[in-house]
Amino acid sequence: MNKMFLEPSVRLDDDNDALILLDQTLLPAEKRFISLTDRKGIWEAICRLKVRGAPAIGIAAAYGAYLGVKNSRAADGEALLKEFLPVKDYLAGSRPTAVNLFWALDRMERRLRAEIMRPPGEIKAALREEAETIRDEDEEVCRTLGENGLTLLEKGWGLLTHCNAGTIATARYGTATAPIYLGHQRGYDFKVYADETRPLLQGARLTAWELMEAGIDVTLICDNMASIVMKQGKVQAVVVGCDRVAANGDSANKIGTSGVAILAKHYGIPFYVFAPLSTVDLSCATGEDIVIEERNPEEVTEMWYAGRMAPADVKVYNPAFDVTDAGLITAIVTEKGIARHPYTEALKAFF
């Protein structure tokens, strides 16, 4: 492993029947790995963002589905399936927006059904293999995203990113950060501007932390500073990840992303969305069909403060995501190539 990459943020400890996660809620103050051995703990970790990032959520869910039936005493495949389905449905309820969660769980179910006539022990081994394959494939997908994305960027550019689409949100490399890591290895000398990303501060706590750990030149800015760094010519491209891409190219990502896209359009700066094909949902016609998760008001009013910073009982609207219109997106970078307008045709061709 290249020394600039962190330990995997999601891995299986099969000997101890556990899912090991880097608790991202504790960063950057504390780097702690937690061991989860039951589906309730895994559900909570996904819901409470201890593990976050669409690919990492999918990997965690796949391991969780395997662990949920690993110690089953089911006599045959049909009985094992009956135990698996409630585990799958329970884990699927942890987050409503990240399509990788459902994609990974559906893939695990398909593998079980494909192996259903085999002895239960062999089916469990197949489920473990499938989960590991999902993880391994994600690492390769992210590397390819980086290679494709790097063709759009030039040495010495300033890059702005929002939220965290980094290595800790994936198996390795990240999605939007993949070309940054590859460029760092190859002497591109990128200057990265990381939006803090209110209200959960993924840019401040996570992106800034992991890029600094890798020795990459990163500058943290408040979300409302994106306009001035663009106007001053410090940013030549915006690179962001996403949690779901609709068939027409509308893309859901962390709240605030659409505002960055509007600014980039105004200043004539290319806006690139990095999307593994597992994140593209062709059954979702437009962004209007994407369910937007609303989170606890305390994230806005008091979570990161020594005391409450808003009037008691004030109404709070706290959507976790917004949808960037396809018309604001210069290109969507996938592992199979770079999609450009019209996205309905371009994305469909990759499948």
Exactly one of 243, 250, 281, 322 is catalytic; which is it?
243
Q: What residues contact 70, with CB distance under 8 A and at least 6 apart?
A: 17, 124, 128
Task: Give 332's strand partners.
Answer: 273, 339
Q: How far is CA 20 from the centre of its chain?
A: 17
Task: Give 294's strand partners.
Answer: 319
Task: Take residue 237 and report the two structure tokens written for it.
Answer: 């491209």
- Among 282, 292, 298, 303, residue whose Cα is nearest residue 95: 292
- Respond yes or no: is residue 322 known to be catalytic: no
User: Contact at 8 Å (CB) between 39 and 87?
Assistant: yes
**Cα separation, 315 vs 124, whole angstroms:** 48
User: Contact at 8 Å (CB) between 97 and 321?
Assistant: yes
Q: Maximum CA pair distance of the chain? A: 67
Q: How many Cα atoms are found within 13 Å in the side-chain-facing hemisphere of 124?
A: 19
**Nearest 5 degrees, angle CA 125-CA 22-CA 206?**
135
Task: Take residue 91 and report the two structure tokens written for it.
Answer: 């884990």
**Cα separation, 126 vs 120, whole angstroms:** 10
**In the chain, which ranges are E strands?**
10-13, 18-22, 33-36, 158-161, 191-195, 218-221, 237-240, 244-246, 251-254, 271-274, 280-281, 321-324, 331-334, 337-339
The residues that are catalytic are 243
